[in-house]
Amino acid sequence: MSKNFSSWPEGWPKTLNYSKKPVHYFLENTAKRAPNRIAIHFGGMVLTYGELKILVDRFATALFRLGIQKGDRMAIHLPNCPQFAIAYYALLKIGGVFTPLSPLLSPSEAEHQLSDSGASVLLTLDLLFPGIKDIVSKTAVKNVISTSIADCYNAVILPTKLLGKIPTPDTIDMVEMLKDAPAEPPEIEIDIFSDLAHIAYTGGTTGVSKGVMLTHANVVCNTLQFGCWMNGAQIEIKEDGETELVFPEGVDPVRDRRVAQDKETALVVVPWFHAMGTIGYLNNMVSGGTTMVVFPRFDPLEYLEAIAKFSATTLGGAPQLYVPLVNHPDFEKYDLSGIKIIASGAAPLPVPILEQMRKHFSSSVAMEAYGLTECSMGACANPPIPGKTKTGSVGLPVFDTECRVIDPETGETLAAGQEGEICIKGPQVMKGYLNRPDATAEVLKDGWLYTGDIGREDEDGFFYITDRKKDMIIYKGYNVYPREIEELLYSHPAVEICAVVGKSDPVGGEIPVGFIKLKDGQAATAEEIMEFVNKQMAAYKKLREVVFTDTIPVSAAGKVLKRELRESLAK
């Protein structure tokens, strides 16, 4: 079955020309094109693209002097901060391989990722290092580099900040490395199709996390796919290898598109150590010359105030960003008219939350997208065009990407409207899992990535994600998809956050159980919640139990950790 282009955005190319340059050239190009444009705002610190490139070149020299060679792996154990961006591009520039280490991992999880990736260098934060210090000696890490949020502030402004620098003995100070190294890194030849850029770990929501091997070509292609999806441009490759955006005749890229090169300001709270952050909210932003207002953590009030303070034009994140935003008591007091794009990914966005966003962000396009670490970041997105998105859909497969829905049992491709497993093919699909040939063979078949996500395609070519295959509940032989129940729960006025999982039952096999966090000041009983939902559901889909909780566990990417909820029920 060929790709359905019936709803393809008018004027958008159907295929892209991709740069043959490695990932760090995104920064090289933007620093050359717009050196004085602000790249990063961070708690009062400002870096232009020209300054960011100088720091990257200096740190690349320092890492090379430290002994990092092509193919060596470095783990970055940082929240979002300027040092993360500096280290990321510096490492890739000398042919090293980036492996993100989430600050939210337990010591045993961090040990697994460091050992599995074979990282020889660890870059960590002074606040975070004590939590994993004892496990480093059990891994292949030879050098630990440390930095501090306080390093971002000069002596005058530092007294206004809450954090001071914490001594971190037996580590190498990143600031000293930057001071001592010239901006003259060596030229390293990189084969973009075979050399790895990332070993990015899956969230481990269903078991031990696996290292996803992404080449420079994977990362470059996915960055350009989503960058050009937002602006509708084609890429022209010049004789010297430089790139330029090309638009159809008569199209003004500023007036006629929602996102324009070197014009936008984005609030960046999506963690860069996650696939959506690295591709969508670092590389994509740098490639497009976007000014990034960077947050190390999410605070709803700080985020709302930053929209006006920095004249933000784009927002993006997981549903767990938007739920507290729209439920904030002062949400309606803020002027949100300058926001042009609101993007959501990493997990399904409940339709009631999406409708609230559309109501209050009246001048913006709210668009859901879909992907997973195994396809670098993304595969589908709604068109960034008013009136062209579909509620509840994750959109169309982006440039040079095919998606199909198959019967999980037979492998047969299903017709429009039928639910099955989503499969993806495209230049952004991973090389495979590190050291896991059997696991790789299970998900990569004949060029297709078998995602484990259940969904459907409509007659217009839009895709819908119903649920994770492993989250599906089987009640008396019937398939029950938790997301359908969750959508109804989110429409209840007292529910702030919810998740539905299966619980073992001797009669039904599994029964749906709802975990619910109520909004502040709201009250409801389990019986009221179940009556509200069940009168709108088929009998076999009914919610059978409700558990009220103060917190719903989520990953750094904003995905609900349903494995933890199932385990709590089993206990």
DSSP of 514-550: EEEEEPTT----HHHHHHHHHTTS-GGG---EEEE-S
The pLDDT value recorded for residue 390 is: 92
> Is the C-alpha dihedral spanning 463, 467, 468, 474 positive or negative?
negative
Residue 365: closest CA among 392, 388, 394:
388
161/149 Cα distance (integer angstroms)? 10
DSSP of 159-178: GGSS--PPP-TTSEEHHHHH
The pLDDT value recorded for residue 205 is: 44
In this structure, which amino acid lies at residue 567?
E
Pair 391, 458: CB distance under 8 Å: no
Beta partners for residue 406, in sequence order: 413, 421
563/366 Cα distance (integer angstroms)? 30
- The residue length of the chain stands at 571
441/471 Cα distance (integer angstroms)? 22
Residue showing tokens 């602000």: 38
The pLDDT value recorded for residue 388 is: 93
The pLDDT value recorded for residue 120 is: 97
Q: Which helix (H) or strand (E) holds 122?
A: strand 121-125
Residue 86: closest CA among 8, 144, 27:
27
270/559 Cα distance (integer angstroms)? 12
97/195 Cα distance (integer angstroms)? 9
Pair 375, 222: CB distance under 8 Å: yes
Pair 417, 440: CB distance under 8 Å: no
C-alpha distance across the termini of the chain, in Å:
46
In the chain the domains, ranked by start, together with CATH numbers, are 472-570 (3.30.300.30)
Alpha carbon separation from 408 to 134, 379, 423, 454 (Å, rounded): 44, 20, 10, 9
The pLDDT value recorded for residue 478 is: 67
The pLDDT value recorded for residue 556 is: 64
Pair 498, 510: CB distance under 8 Å: no
Per-position pLDDT tens, the chain of length 571? 689 999 999 999 999 999 999 999 999 999 999 999 999 999 889 999 999 999 999 999 999 999 999 999 999 999 999 999 999 999 999 999 999 999 988 898 899 999 999 999 999 999 999 999 999 999 999 999 999 999 998 877 777 777 788 999 999 999 999 999 999 999 999 999 999 999 999 864 455 789 999 999 999 999 999 999 999 999 999 877 788 999 999 999 999 999 999 999 999 999 999 999 999 999 999 999 999 999 998 888 999 999 989 999 999 888 778 878 888 888 888 888 889 998 888 777 777 777 777 777 767 888 899 999 999 999 999 999 988 999 889 999 999 999 999 998 888 999 999 999 999 999 999 999 999 999 999 999 999 999 988 899 999 999 998 877 677 787 866 678 787 788 889 889 989 888 898 888 877 778 899 999 998 888 899 899 998 988 887 777 889 999 999 988 887 666 788 888 888 887 7
